[in-house]
Structure 1
Amino acid sequence: MKNLSKILFLSILLSVALGQAQEEDPFAQDTTTPAEFSETTPADANNSMRPRAKRLPTDPGEFWIIGLTSLQWNEKLSVTQSGSSESSNMSLNGAGLTVEREFEKAQWGWSIGALIGAGRANSGPFANGVKVDRQTFKTYGINPRAFWKLSDQVNLGGTIYIYHRSLDLPSTSDVSSSAAKSTNAAIMADLSLRIFTDWDFYQAIGPLDEGAYLWKIGLNYRF
Protein backbone atom coordinates (compact mmCIF):
# COMPACT_ATOMS: atom_id res chain seq x y z
CA MET A 1 0.00 0.00 0.00
CA LYS A 2 3.03 2.31 0.30
CA ASN A 3 3.28 2.26 -3.50
CA LEU A 4 -0.40 3.23 -3.82
CA SER A 5 0.10 6.15 -1.43
CA LYS A 6 3.15 7.31 -3.40
CA ILE A 7 1.18 7.18 -6.67
CA LEU A 8 -1.66 9.23 -5.16
CA PHE A 9 0.80 11.79 -3.72
CA LEU A 10 2.64 12.16 -7.04
CA SER A 11 -0.66 12.56 -8.89
CA ILE A 12 -1.68 15.40 -6.58
CA LEU A 13 1.63 17.19 -7.15
CA LEU A 14 1.29 16.74 -10.92
CA SER A 15 -2.27 18.00 -10.87
CA VAL A 16 -1.41 21.14 -8.90
CA ALA A 17 1.50 21.83 -11.26
CA LEU A 18 -0.78 21.50 -14.30
CA GLY A 19 -3.31 23.84 -12.73
CA GLN A 20 -0.66 26.49 -12.05
CA ALA A 21 0.80 26.17 -15.54
CA GLN A 22 -2.51 27.22 -17.02
CA GLU A 23 -2.64 30.49 -15.10
CA GLU A 24 -1.57 33.70 -16.78
CA ASP A 25 2.14 34.43 -16.97
CA PRO A 26 2.85 37.28 -14.53
CA PHE A 27 5.75 38.44 -16.75
CA ALA A 28 3.73 38.47 -19.98
CA GLN A 29 3.95 41.79 -21.79
CA ASP A 30 0.85 43.89 -22.27
CA THR A 31 0.10 44.00 -26.01
CA THR A 32 -2.64 46.61 -25.66
CA THR A 33 -1.86 49.54 -27.90
CA PRO A 34 -3.09 52.91 -26.60
CA ALA A 35 -5.16 54.95 -29.05
CA GLU A 36 -3.11 57.68 -30.68
CA PHE A 37 -4.02 61.34 -30.29
CA SER A 38 -6.94 60.50 -27.96
CA GLU A 39 -8.31 63.28 -25.85
CA THR A 40 -8.81 62.63 -22.13
CA THR A 41 -11.37 64.64 -20.25
CA PRO A 42 -11.17 65.19 -16.47
CA ALA A 43 -14.17 62.88 -16.03
CA ASP A 44 -12.42 60.11 -17.99
CA ALA A 45 -9.29 60.57 -15.89
CA ASN A 46 -11.26 60.22 -12.67
CA ASN A 47 -13.03 57.09 -13.94
CA SER A 48 -9.75 55.48 -14.98
CA MET A 49 -8.36 55.96 -11.48
CA ARG A 50 -11.26 54.21 -9.79
CA PRO A 51 -10.62 50.55 -8.85
CA ARG A 52 -12.63 48.14 -10.94
CA ALA A 53 -14.98 45.73 -9.20
CA LYS A 54 -13.66 42.18 -9.11
CA ARG A 55 -15.63 39.89 -11.39
CA LEU A 56 -16.98 36.92 -9.49
CA PRO A 57 -16.70 33.48 -11.10
CA THR A 58 -19.90 32.08 -12.53
CA ASP A 59 -21.66 29.01 -11.24
CA PRO A 60 -20.59 26.06 -13.47
CA GLY A 61 -23.91 24.27 -12.89
CA GLU A 62 -24.87 20.59 -12.95
CA PHE A 63 -23.53 17.58 -14.85
CA TRP A 64 -24.19 13.91 -15.44
CA ILE A 65 -21.12 11.67 -15.23
CA ILE A 66 -20.64 8.18 -16.65
CA GLY A 67 -17.39 6.37 -15.98
CA LEU A 68 -15.42 3.14 -15.92
CA THR A 69 -13.70 2.38 -12.61
CA SER A 70 -11.24 -0.25 -11.43
CA LEU A 71 -11.44 -1.48 -7.83
CA GLN A 72 -8.82 -3.18 -5.69
CA TRP A 73 -8.88 -4.13 -2.03
CA ASN A 74 -7.92 -6.88 0.42
CA GLU A 75 -9.94 -8.80 2.98
CA LYS A 76 -8.88 -11.20 5.69
CA LEU A 77 -9.92 -14.78 4.88
CA SER A 78 -10.04 -17.46 7.60
CA VAL A 79 -10.28 -21.17 6.80
CA THR A 80 -11.15 -23.73 9.48
CA GLN A 81 -10.75 -27.49 9.17
CA SER A 82 -11.02 -30.07 11.97
CA GLY A 83 -10.81 -27.34 14.61
CA SER A 84 -7.63 -25.84 13.12
CA SER A 85 -7.90 -22.31 11.72
CA GLU A 86 -5.61 -20.45 9.33
CA SER A 87 -5.86 -16.89 8.02
CA SER A 88 -4.51 -15.07 4.99
CA ASN A 89 -5.22 -12.02 2.87
CA MET A 90 -7.68 -12.33 -0.01
CA SER A 91 -7.14 -9.95 -2.93
CA LEU A 92 -10.19 -8.66 -4.81
CA ASN A 93 -9.76 -6.96 -8.18
CA GLY A 94 -12.64 -5.78 -10.31
CA ALA A 95 -14.13 -3.15 -12.59
CA GLY A 96 -17.41 -1.31 -12.61
CA LEU A 97 -19.67 1.21 -14.30
CA THR A 98 -20.46 4.42 -12.42
CA VAL A 99 -23.25 6.95 -12.90
CA GLU A 100 -23.16 10.24 -10.97
CA ARG A 101 -24.95 13.56 -10.72
CA GLU A 102 -22.57 16.44 -9.94
CA PHE A 103 -23.39 19.92 -8.66
CA GLU A 104 -20.63 22.52 -9.02
CA LYS A 105 -20.30 25.93 -7.40
CA ALA A 106 -17.62 28.53 -8.01
CA GLN A 107 -15.02 26.98 -5.66
CA TRP A 108 -16.57 23.73 -4.45
CA GLY A 109 -19.17 21.12 -5.27
CA TRP A 110 -20.69 17.76 -4.44
CA SER A 111 -22.03 14.68 -6.20
CA ILE A 112 -23.97 11.48 -5.58
CA GLY A 113 -23.48 8.34 -7.61
CA ALA A 114 -23.83 4.58 -7.85
CA LEU A 115 -21.55 1.79 -9.02
CA ILE A 116 -22.17 -1.75 -10.25
CA GLY A 117 -19.32 -4.09 -11.04
CA ALA A 118 -17.72 -7.52 -10.89
CA GLY A 119 -14.29 -9.06 -10.50
CA ARG A 120 -12.10 -11.93 -9.29
CA ALA A 121 -10.86 -12.91 -5.83
CA ASN A 122 -7.68 -14.84 -5.02
CA SER A 123 -6.21 -16.27 -1.82
CA GLY A 124 -4.14 -19.21 -0.67
CA PRO A 125 -3.36 -22.01 -0.99
CA PHE A 126 -3.64 -22.79 2.71
CA ALA A 127 -1.87 -25.63 4.52
CA ASN A 128 -4.89 -27.89 3.98
CA GLY A 129 -4.82 -27.24 0.23
CA VAL A 130 -7.85 -24.94 0.21
CA LYS A 131 -7.53 -21.86 -1.99
CA VAL A 132 -9.58 -19.17 -3.66
CA ASP A 133 -8.57 -19.13 -7.31
CA ARG A 134 -10.08 -16.45 -9.54
CA GLN A 135 -13.42 -16.74 -7.77
CA THR A 136 -16.03 -14.41 -9.31
CA PHE A 137 -17.64 -11.75 -7.14
CA LYS A 138 -20.23 -9.04 -7.80
CA THR A 139 -20.45 -5.67 -6.14
CA TYR A 140 -22.57 -2.54 -6.06
CA GLY A 141 -22.43 0.63 -4.01
CA ILE A 142 -23.15 4.32 -3.61
CA ASN A 143 -20.61 7.12 -3.29
CA PRO A 144 -21.57 10.60 -2.05
CA ARG A 145 -18.69 13.04 -2.60
CA ALA A 146 -17.71 16.63 -1.73
CA PHE A 147 -14.76 18.46 -3.27
CA TRP A 148 -12.82 21.72 -3.38
CA LYS A 149 -11.67 23.14 -6.72
CA LEU A 150 -7.96 23.98 -6.87
CA SER A 151 -8.51 25.16 -10.46
CA ASP A 152 -10.89 24.56 -13.34
CA GLN A 153 -8.97 21.36 -14.10
CA VAL A 154 -8.15 19.97 -10.65
CA ASN A 155 -10.21 19.26 -7.54
CA LEU A 156 -9.55 17.40 -4.30
CA GLY A 157 -12.27 15.83 -2.23
CA GLY A 158 -13.56 13.09 -0.01
CA THR A 159 -15.89 10.19 -0.76
CA ILE A 160 -17.87 7.87 1.49
CA TYR A 161 -18.05 4.65 -0.50
CA ILE A 162 -20.68 2.23 0.84
CA TYR A 163 -20.70 -1.10 -0.97
CA HIS A 164 -21.89 -4.70 -0.90
CA ARG A 165 -20.09 -7.63 -2.47
CA SER A 166 -21.30 -11.18 -3.01
CA LEU A 167 -18.73 -13.98 -3.08
CA ASP A 168 -18.93 -17.76 -2.71
CA LEU A 169 -16.21 -18.92 -0.32
CA PRO A 170 -14.77 -22.45 -0.09
CA SER A 171 -17.03 -24.73 1.95
CA THR A 172 -17.22 -28.51 2.30
CA SER A 173 -18.41 -30.96 4.92
CA ASP A 174 -15.24 -30.48 7.00
CA VAL A 175 -14.01 -27.07 5.79
CA SER A 176 -15.54 -23.69 6.56
CA SER A 177 -14.30 -20.24 5.63
CA SER A 178 -15.20 -16.66 6.47
CA ALA A 179 -14.10 -13.23 5.28
CA ALA A 180 -14.80 -9.61 6.12
CA LYS A 181 -18.30 -8.19 6.19
CA SER A 182 -20.02 -8.41 2.83
CA THR A 183 -21.37 -4.88 3.36
CA ASN A 184 -18.76 -2.30 4.24
CA ALA A 185 -17.81 1.37 3.93
CA ALA A 186 -14.63 3.33 3.29
CA ILE A 187 -13.87 7.04 3.79
CA MET A 188 -11.65 7.90 0.85
CA ALA A 189 -9.47 10.85 -0.17
CA ASP A 190 -9.78 11.46 -3.89
CA LEU A 191 -8.47 13.50 -6.81
CA SER A 192 -10.14 14.46 -10.10
CA LEU A 193 -8.06 15.81 -13.00
CA ARG A 194 -9.56 17.22 -16.23
CA ILE A 195 -7.50 15.68 -19.04
CA PHE A 196 -9.77 16.64 -21.96
CA THR A 197 -12.73 18.98 -22.36
CA ASP A 198 -15.30 16.43 -21.17
CA TRP A 199 -13.07 13.70 -19.69
CA ASP A 200 -11.72 13.39 -16.14
CA PHE A 201 -9.16 11.07 -14.60
CA TYR A 202 -10.23 10.03 -11.09
CA GLN A 203 -8.57 8.11 -8.28
CA ALA A 204 -9.34 7.54 -4.61
CA ILE A 205 -7.88 5.60 -1.70
CA GLY A 206 -9.16 4.92 1.80
CA PRO A 207 -8.85 2.50 4.74
CA LEU A 208 -11.01 -0.55 5.37
CA ASP A 209 -11.00 -3.04 8.24
CA GLU A 210 -7.81 -4.33 9.85
CA GLY A 211 -5.35 -2.14 7.97
CA ALA A 212 -6.65 -2.96 4.48
CA TYR A 213 -7.16 -0.24 1.86
CA LEU A 214 -9.57 0.21 -1.02
CA TRP A 215 -8.26 1.84 -4.19
CA LYS A 216 -10.30 3.19 -7.11
CA ILE A 217 -9.06 4.47 -10.47
CA GLY A 218 -11.41 5.61 -13.20
CA LEU A 219 -12.06 7.58 -16.36
CA ASN A 220 -15.21 9.72 -16.33
CA TYR A 221 -17.17 11.42 -19.10
CA ARG A 222 -19.29 14.44 -18.16
CA PHE A 223 -22.21 15.90 -20.09
Structure 2
Amino acid sequence: MAKSDSKNEQVAFRAPDFFARSRAKLSFDVPAGLFDPNIIPASGDPGTDKMLEIVAREQPVRPAAVLIAVVDHPEPTILLTQRSAHLNDHAGQIAFPGGKIDAIDSSPLDAALREAEEEVGLSRDFVEPIGYLDLYGTAFGFRILPTVARVRPGFQLTINHSEVDDAFEVPLSFLMNPANHQVHSKEFRGMERFYYAMPFAERYIWGATAGMLRVLYERIYSS
Protein backbone atom coordinates (compact mmCIF):
# COMPACT_ATOMS: atom_id res chain seq x y z
CA MET A 1 0.00 0.00 0.00
CA ALA A 2 1.15 3.52 -0.65
CA LYS A 3 0.26 4.51 2.93
CA SER A 4 2.38 2.65 5.42
CA ASP A 5 1.86 4.03 8.93
CA SER A 6 -0.93 2.55 11.05
CA LYS A 7 -2.94 5.78 11.30
CA ASN A 8 -3.06 6.19 7.53
CA GLU A 9 -3.90 2.51 7.07
CA GLN A 10 -6.90 2.94 9.39
CA VAL A 11 -8.07 5.90 7.29
CA ALA A 12 -7.60 3.92 4.07
CA PHE A 13 -9.92 1.18 5.28
CA ARG A 14 -12.69 3.60 6.20
CA ALA A 15 -15.72 3.50 3.92
CA PRO A 16 -15.33 6.97 2.29
CA ASP A 17 -11.74 6.26 1.26
CA PHE A 18 -12.52 2.81 -0.13
CA PHE A 19 -15.49 4.01 -2.17
CA ALA A 20 -13.57 7.04 -3.48
CA ARG A 21 -10.70 4.82 -4.61
CA SER A 22 -13.11 2.35 -6.21
CA ARG A 23 -15.00 5.00 -8.16
CA ALA A 24 -11.71 6.40 -9.46
CA LYS A 25 -10.35 3.04 -10.61
CA LEU A 26 -13.34 0.99 -11.79
CA SER A 27 -15.78 1.32 -14.69
CA PHE A 28 -18.64 -0.57 -16.31
CA ASP A 29 -16.71 -1.47 -19.46
CA VAL A 30 -17.38 -5.16 -20.12
CA PRO A 31 -14.17 -6.99 -21.06
CA ALA A 32 -14.24 -8.87 -24.38
CA GLY A 33 -13.05 -12.00 -22.64
CA LEU A 34 -16.32 -12.42 -20.76
CA PHE A 35 -18.07 -13.86 -23.80
CA ASP A 36 -15.30 -14.55 -26.35
CA PRO A 37 -14.51 -18.30 -26.21
CA ASN A 38 -11.11 -17.64 -27.81
CA ILE A 39 -9.98 -15.61 -24.80
CA ILE A 40 -9.03 -17.58 -21.71
CA PRO A 41 -9.18 -15.24 -18.71
CA ALA A 42 -6.32 -15.23 -16.24
CA SER A 43 -6.46 -15.75 -12.49
CA GLY A 44 -3.04 -14.37 -11.63
CA ASP A 45 -1.77 -17.81 -10.61
CA PRO A 46 0.17 -19.72 -13.29
CA GLY A 47 -0.98 -23.09 -11.95
CA THR A 48 -4.66 -22.15 -12.01
CA ASP A 49 -4.24 -20.57 -15.45
CA LYS A 50 -2.73 -23.80 -16.75
CA MET A 51 -5.61 -25.78 -15.29
CA LEU A 52 -8.10 -23.46 -16.99
CA GLU A 53 -6.36 -23.98 -20.32
CA ILE A 54 -6.88 -27.72 -19.88
CA VAL A 55 -10.50 -27.30 -18.87
CA ALA A 56 -11.15 -24.94 -21.81
CA ARG A 57 -10.13 -27.71 -24.22
CA GLU A 58 -12.71 -30.03 -22.67
CA GLN A 59 -15.72 -27.75 -22.19
CA PRO A 60 -16.86 -24.15 -22.69
CA VAL A 61 -15.65 -21.65 -20.09
CA ARG A 62 -18.96 -20.26 -18.87
CA PRO A 63 -19.60 -16.54 -18.19
CA ALA A 64 -20.63 -15.70 -14.63
CA ALA A 65 -21.09 -12.64 -12.46
CA VAL A 66 -20.73 -12.04 -8.74
CA LEU A 67 -21.45 -9.14 -6.42
CA ILE A 68 -18.70 -7.82 -4.15
CA ALA A 69 -21.09 -6.14 -1.75
CA VAL A 70 -19.22 -3.69 0.49
CA VAL A 71 -21.50 -2.65 3.33
CA ASP A 72 -21.13 1.04 4.20
CA HIS A 73 -20.59 0.75 7.94
CA PRO A 74 -18.11 3.16 9.61
CA GLU A 75 -15.85 0.10 9.53
CA PRO A 76 -16.95 -1.40 6.19
CA THR A 77 -17.52 -5.11 5.64
CA ILE A 78 -17.91 -7.45 2.68
CA LEU A 79 -20.95 -9.71 2.44
CA LEU A 80 -20.13 -13.35 1.77
CA THR A 81 -22.16 -16.55 1.62
CA GLN A 82 -21.59 -20.17 2.51
CA ARG A 83 -22.89 -22.39 -0.26
CA SER A 84 -25.32 -25.15 0.66
CA ALA A 85 -23.72 -28.44 1.63
CA HIS A 86 -25.91 -30.46 -0.76
CA LEU A 87 -24.87 -28.66 -3.97
CA ASN A 88 -23.04 -30.59 -6.67
CA ASP A 89 -20.44 -27.85 -7.24
CA HIS A 90 -18.37 -26.17 -4.51
CA ALA A 91 -20.63 -27.44 -1.73
CA GLY A 92 -20.09 -25.66 1.58
CA GLN A 93 -17.55 -23.21 0.18
CA ILE A 94 -17.41 -19.48 0.90
CA ALA A 95 -18.51 -17.38 -2.07
CA PHE A 96 -19.80 -14.03 -3.22
CA PRO A 97 -23.47 -13.85 -4.16
CA GLY A 98 -23.58 -14.65 -7.85
CA GLY A 99 -23.78 -17.26 -10.57
CA LYS A 100 -23.88 -17.85 -14.28
CA ILE A 101 -25.12 -15.11 -16.60
CA ASP A 102 -28.50 -16.05 -18.10
CA ALA A 103 -30.13 -14.94 -21.33
CA ILE A 104 -32.63 -12.87 -19.33
CA ASP A 105 -29.84 -10.74 -17.84
CA SER A 106 -29.32 -7.40 -19.57
CA SER A 107 -25.73 -7.13 -18.31
CA PRO A 108 -23.24 -8.80 -15.96
CA LEU A 109 -24.33 -6.23 -13.37
CA ASP A 110 -27.96 -7.30 -13.79
CA ALA A 111 -26.93 -10.94 -13.35
CA ALA A 112 -25.02 -10.18 -10.15
CA LEU A 113 -27.94 -8.22 -8.68
CA ARG A 114 -30.44 -10.90 -9.67
CA GLU A 115 -28.35 -13.64 -8.10
CA ALA A 116 -27.90 -11.64 -4.89
CA GLU A 117 -31.67 -11.24 -4.65
CA GLU A 118 -32.28 -14.93 -5.37
CA GLU A 119 -29.62 -16.30 -3.02
CA VAL A 120 -29.83 -14.05 0.03
CA GLY A 121 -32.71 -11.63 -0.64
CA LEU A 122 -30.49 -8.55 -0.93
CA SER A 123 -32.78 -5.86 -2.36
CA ARG A 124 -31.44 -3.75 -5.22
CA ASP A 125 -32.80 -0.71 -3.40
CA PHE A 126 -29.86 -0.96 -1.01
CA VAL A 127 -27.18 -1.50 -3.69
CA GLU A 128 -25.18 1.22 -5.45
CA PRO A 129 -23.02 -0.42 -8.15
CA ILE A 130 -19.58 1.17 -8.57
CA GLY A 131 -17.92 -0.78 -11.37
CA TYR A 132 -16.50 -4.06 -12.61
CA LEU A 133 -13.34 -5.61 -11.25
CA ASP A 134 -11.01 -7.58 -13.53
CA LEU A 135 -12.30 -10.68 -15.31
CA TYR A 136 -11.30 -13.74 -13.30
CA GLY A 137 -10.85 -17.27 -14.61
CA THR A 138 -11.40 -20.29 -12.40
CA ALA A 139 -9.94 -23.75 -12.77
CA PHE A 140 -13.46 -25.18 -12.80
CA GLY A 141 -14.42 -23.54 -16.09
CA PHE A 142 -15.91 -20.15 -15.26
CA ARG A 143 -15.03 -16.66 -16.45
CA ILE A 144 -16.29 -14.41 -13.66
CA LEU A 145 -16.87 -10.68 -13.80
CA PRO A 146 -17.26 -9.21 -10.28
CA THR A 147 -19.27 -6.05 -9.66
CA VAL A 148 -18.05 -3.93 -6.76
CA ALA A 149 -20.94 -2.16 -5.04
CA ARG A 150 -21.68 0.02 -2.04
CA VAL A 151 -24.46 -1.46 0.06
CA ARG A 152 -26.45 0.77 2.38
CA PRO A 153 -26.91 -0.72 5.87
CA GLY A 154 -30.39 -1.60 7.05
CA PHE A 155 -31.16 -4.39 4.58
CA GLN A 156 -32.84 -7.62 5.67
CA LEU A 157 -31.66 -10.88 4.17
CA THR A 158 -33.77 -13.91 3.31
CA ILE A 159 -31.57 -16.95 2.79
CA ASN A 160 -32.50 -19.32 -0.04
CA HIS A 161 -31.40 -22.58 1.58
CA SER A 162 -31.54 -24.46 -1.70
CA GLU A 163 -28.44 -22.48 -2.68
CA VAL A 164 -26.96 -20.92 0.46
CA ASP A 165 -26.62 -22.13 4.06
CA ASP A 166 -25.55 -18.81 5.55
CA ALA A 167 -24.59 -15.20 4.83
CA PHE A 168 -22.14 -13.20 6.92
CA GLU A 169 -19.93 -10.11 6.84
CA VAL A 170 -16.15 -9.89 7.15
CA PRO A 171 -14.33 -6.62 7.90
CA LEU A 172 -12.84 -4.97 4.82
CA SER A 173 -9.73 -4.18 6.88
CA PHE A 174 -9.11 -7.91 7.36
CA LEU A 175 -9.67 -8.89 3.75
CA MET A 176 -7.59 -6.03 2.33
CA ASN A 177 -4.63 -6.66 4.64
CA PRO A 178 -1.99 -8.58 2.64
CA ALA A 179 -0.72 -10.09 5.89
CA ASN A 180 -3.91 -12.17 5.86
CA HIS A 181 -3.44 -13.36 2.26
CA GLN A 182 -2.02 -16.84 2.74
CA VAL A 183 -0.84 -18.97 -0.18
CA HIS A 184 -1.85 -22.63 -0.01
CA SER A 185 -1.44 -25.45 -2.51
CA LYS A 186 -2.96 -28.75 -3.59
CA GLU A 187 -2.50 -31.19 -6.45
CA PHE A 188 -4.71 -31.18 -9.53
CA ARG A 189 -4.14 -33.64 -12.39
CA GLY A 190 -0.56 -34.13 -11.36
CA MET A 191 0.19 -30.41 -11.09
CA GLU A 192 0.66 -28.39 -7.93
CA ARG A 193 -1.89 -25.61 -7.79
CA PHE A 194 -1.31 -22.53 -5.63
CA TYR A 195 -4.21 -20.42 -4.42
CA TYR A 196 -4.99 -17.69 -1.92
CA ALA A 197 -6.67 -18.42 1.40
CA MET A 198 -7.89 -15.92 4.00
CA PRO A 199 -9.09 -17.89 7.04
CA PHE A 200 -11.34 -15.75 9.22
CA ALA A 201 -12.51 -17.18 12.57
CA GLU A 202 -14.23 -20.47 11.66
CA ARG A 203 -14.61 -19.47 8.00
CA TYR A 204 -12.14 -20.78 5.42
CA ILE A 205 -12.16 -18.26 2.56
CA TRP A 206 -10.12 -19.67 -0.31
CA GLY A 207 -9.90 -20.40 -4.02
CA ALA A 208 -11.67 -18.10 -6.46
CA THR A 209 -13.29 -16.01 -3.72
CA ALA A 210 -9.95 -15.31 -2.04
CA GLY A 211 -8.38 -14.79 -5.46
CA MET A 212 -10.90 -12.10 -6.40
CA LEU A 213 -10.41 -10.45 -3.02
CA ARG A 214 -6.69 -10.37 -3.74
CA VAL A 215 -7.41 -8.74 -7.12
CA LEU A 216 -9.61 -6.18 -5.34
CA TYR A 217 -6.75 -5.37 -2.98
CA GLU A 218 -4.29 -5.00 -5.86
CA ARG A 219 -6.62 -2.76 -7.90
CA ILE A 220 -7.81 -0.51 -5.07
CA TYR A 221 -4.81 -0.31 -2.77
CA SER A 222 -1.71 -1.37 -4.74
CA SER A 223 -2.13 0.03 -8.24
More strand by share: 1
TM normalised by structure 1 equals 0.24
Which of 1 and 2 has higher RCO (CA within 8 Å, sep 6+)?
2
Q: Which has the larger radius of gyration?
A: 1
TM-score with structure 2 setting the length:
0.24
